[in-house]
Amino acid sequence: MHVRGVTIAMMSVALAGLASGCATGPGTSRASRANVAGTADRLEQDADLLARDSAEAPARGDYASSSARDTHQLAMDSHELRRTVEDRDSSDAAVQAAFDRVSRSFHAVRDEVNHTDTEAAQRDFHPVATDYRDLRNDLGEPADHEARADYPPPPIER
């Protein structure tokens, strides 16, 4: 009888642990959500700085002002991701959807910067790219094929 009680107690503890793991889902523990929120906050701040630099760029002759709009959108999307992650009631699907918006915004900005092909734009963009890569890693997302060192691919010579 005593063995049966111990077995039931152990199974209850194991099931409770399993249930709590299922409730939070993979990659959404408090610690990882805190990491994601912190990284999203850094990305938001660095994107805001880049947006301000982009807005001033025409006066300096650096790169197109349209990147200011794209960069501002990236900052807003990063802010929304941080808020979603910090909301304890948000689902993994909501976090993924918010990250997908950040990813689209990031790639739009990255494409603008790559299109300008200026050293100043690349230098200003570097912290944003680093933050995005950290965010992607925090979320356990696979590396983007566009994140390779040889992106954009060199033009085809004819």
**Which residue, among 42, 34, 31, 19, has the nearest Cα to 134 in the 3D structure?**
42
Specify the pLDDT at position 1: 58
Contact 122, 113 (CB under 8 A): yes
Work out the average pLDDT over 93-98: 95
Work out the average pLDDT over 58-71: 64
Is residue 14 scored above 50 in pLDDT? Answer: no
Two tokens, residue 32? 């990882």
Band the pLDDT of 42: cuts 50, 70, 90: very high
Element (H, E) at 14: helix 2-24
Of 1.10.10, 1.10.3470, 1.20.120, 3.40.50, which CATH number belongs to 26-142?
Answer: 1.20.120
100 backbone φψ class: left, alpha, beta (φ>0; ψ -120 to 50): alpha
The whole-model pTM stands at 0.69
